[in-house]
Structures are given as structure tokens and as C-alpha cells.
Amino acid sequence: MDHGAQHGSDGGIEELVFSKFPIFRELKRIAAAVPNEDWNELPADLAVNLDDYLYPGPKK
């Protein structure tokens, strides 16, 4: 998988080359591969309460 880095002959990274597409296009491509049934199982408040879903348990 190419992450956009160009490698020199010594194996080091000479220059970082960013993708010609914005990140939202890649996210849109990935999201399109997820079946609608799976999207429907996500909680409606996921964006608002993301930390609660990622780190369940008592809050400090």
C-alpha cells in the first residue's frame, strides 16, 4: 500500500507527497463499502457521544 511517500535509493523518505484527493473523498469511498444494514445499527447520537461509546465506564 502506497501512503504517498517517495523513498530514496537509501530507503529513507526524501519527500512527502500528499494525495491529489482530499481526505473526505477517501472517507466517502470507504463509507460506500459499508452496507446500509450496518449503518442502521449505529446509535443516532454516535457523533455527540463518541467518547462514551469508545471509552465506556464511569467518567472521571
Q: What kind and span of H or E run contains 51?
A: helix 50-54
Measured between alpha carbons, how far is 8 from 25 in angstroms, rounded to an integer?
Answer: 29
Measured between alpha carbons, how far is 58 from 60 in angstroms, rounded to an integer?
Answer: 6
Q: Where are the domains of the chain?
A: 21-60
Does residue 48 have a pLDDT over 80?
yes
Q: Higher confidence at residue 59 or residue 34?
A: 34
Residue 16's nearest CA partner among 8, 6, 24, 26 is 6
Enumerate residues 6+ apart whose C-beta is below 8 A from 46.
Answer: 53
Q: What is the pLDDT of residues 4-47, one digit of tens each?
A: 555 555 555 545 555 677 888 889 999 999 999 999 999 999 99
Q: What is the per-residue pLDDT for 18?
A: 59
Return the C-alpha cell found at 7. Answer: 523513498
